[in-house]
Amino acid sequence: MSLSPDQQAEIEDLRARPQQTLRTVAPGIEAHLYTAHPVLDHGFVRVIDYMGDDAAICQAARVSYGKGTKSVQNDEGLIRYLMRHWHSTPFEMCEIKLHVKLPVFVARQWIRHRTANVNEYSARYSILDREFYIPAPENVAAQSVINNQGRGDTLQGEDAARVLDMLKADSTRAYDHYQEMIDENGIGLARELARMNLPANVYTQWYWKVDLHNLFHFLRLRADAHAQYEIRVYAEEMCRIVADWVPFAYKAFEDYRLGSVSMSAQMVACLQRMLRGEEVTQETSDMSAREWREFKSVIDG
């Protein structure tokens, strides 16, 4: 990560100026405000603003359920109940605004989550910095042989070196040419055209604002072991921030979403038979070979 001294000073200045508010304050996330948490080689996640806390989730739910919720004694119990039973609207009552710096190919995955507000740095208007994601050697991995969706073993020796050489050389050359094209004293090409020469590992940045329900949906998919490593590390950093912001909601999310398993009708039927002591095999399971494999991996732990 590379914050300029000016940027670092601005962050420190913002953090030195507490103000009074009548709003709900969540102490756990106040500690994060403005600070840039490094991700990958040049990226970061910074909390710019937030709205609400665990209590705000309950407050919204109690408007929903009014006197009906008296039986749920406390906030944590209510939050766990809401999460377990897929009541999404109370979680939408919390909101967070992040400043994220990330490679373009990560941004392209990220933006697929449509229920969020985004202001991205525009390479049509402005000039991108010379910053490119170059993986650490341990993350340069082969195409998975098991499926088409991920990466397998880390590449070794010459192969990894050759990949890194190509990435670095092509990035450097692309940026040199980008600079040459847009040089106001030279060619002076329109920025909106010149940007097309930059590869997908160039860094961009944006303000991203999202409610807690949709953030959890994002984190469930992107903090998952099957997510691409380069977006997963952002999701993991955000998990740590959210855990400090709304600890009850985050714990419920961990138990009922991140660590949960969805069992099909067939899987539940098999489970019931197995718990009654019956021997069940794939042949007698009413599942495909692939489904059976997924089922076994869950119950064998």
Exactly one of 39, 75, 133, 219 binds its own copies (CB under 8 A); which one? 133
Q: How many angstroms separate the CA atoms of 220 and 167, rounded?
A: 31
Give me the 102-121 binding string for its own copies, x by CB under 8 A, dash otherwise.
Answer: -xxx--x--xx-xx-xxxxx
Token pair 């995955």 is at which residue?
109
Amino acid at 230: E
Are 76 and 250 contacting, i.e. CB atoms less than 8 angstroms apart? no
1 binds its own copies (CB under 8 A): no
- With CB under 8 A, what is the number of residues at the site for its own copies? 137
- Catalytic residue annotation: 222
Give the residue, chosen from 8, 122, 172, 284, that forms a contact with its own copies under the rule CB under 8 A. 122
Contact range with its own copies by CB under 8 A, out of 1-9, 232-240, 241-249, 262-270: 262-270
Q: Identify which range of 2-10, 17-25, 37-45, 239-247 contacts its own copies by CB under 8 A.
A: 17-25
The least distance separating its own copies from the CB of residue 248, rounded to whole angstroms, comes to 14
Q: Which of residues 182-241 bind its own copies (CB under 8 A)?
A: 182, 184, 187-193, 195-201, 205-207, 209, 211, 221, 228
| Binding test (CB under 8 A) with its own copies, winner from 1, 7, 152, 240 | 152
CA neighbor of 295 nearest in space, from 238, 12, 286: 286
The enclosing H or E element of 100 equals strand 95-103
3 state DSSP class of 207: strand
Is 13 among the residues that bind its own copies (CB under 8 A)?
no
Q: Is 21 left (phi over 0), alpha (psi -120 to 50) or beta?
A: beta
What's 169's DSSP letter? H
Is residue 298 within the footprint of its own copies (CB under 8 A)? yes
Residues near 128 by beta carbon (within 8 Å), at least 6 away in sequence = 121, 178, 195, 198, 202, 203, 204
3-class secondary-structure state, position 56: helix
Q: What is the DSSP letter of 126?
A: S
Q: Tell which one of 170, 240, 293, 297 touches its own copies (CB under 8 A).
A: 170
Instruction: Considering only the stretches 36-44, 233-241, 242-250, 270-278, report the one whose residues sit in contact with its own copies under the rule CB under 8 A.
Output: 270-278
Task: Please state the closest distance from residue 117 (CB atom) to its own copies, in A.
Answer: 4
**8 A C-beta contact, residue 199 and residue 174:** yes
Confirm or reject binding of residue 256 to its own copies (CB under 8 A). Answer: yes
The single residue among 5, 138, 185, 275 that binds its own copies, judged by CB under 8 A, is 275
Question: For residue 24, with 0-12 CB atoms within 10 Å meaning exposed, 13-18 middle and 19 or more buried, which class applies?
Answer: middle
Choices 1-9, 161-169, 232-240, 241-249 (CB under 8 A): range interacting with its own copies: 161-169
Give the per-residue contact string, 36-65, with its own copies (x = CB under 8 A; - = no). ------------xxxxx---x--xxx-xxx
Q: Give the CA distances from residue 162 to residues 155, 169, 207, in Å, rounded to whole numbers and listed in that order.
A: 10, 10, 35
The two tokens of residue 216 are 């959890």
Q: How far is the CB of 5 from its own copies (least distance, A)?
A: 18
Report CA-CA distances (Å) from 181 to 86, 121, 126, 172, 277: 52, 20, 14, 14, 73
Nearer to its own copies, 71 or 283 (CB): 71
Site string for its own copies, 69-88 (x = CB under 8 A): x-x-----x--xx--x-x--
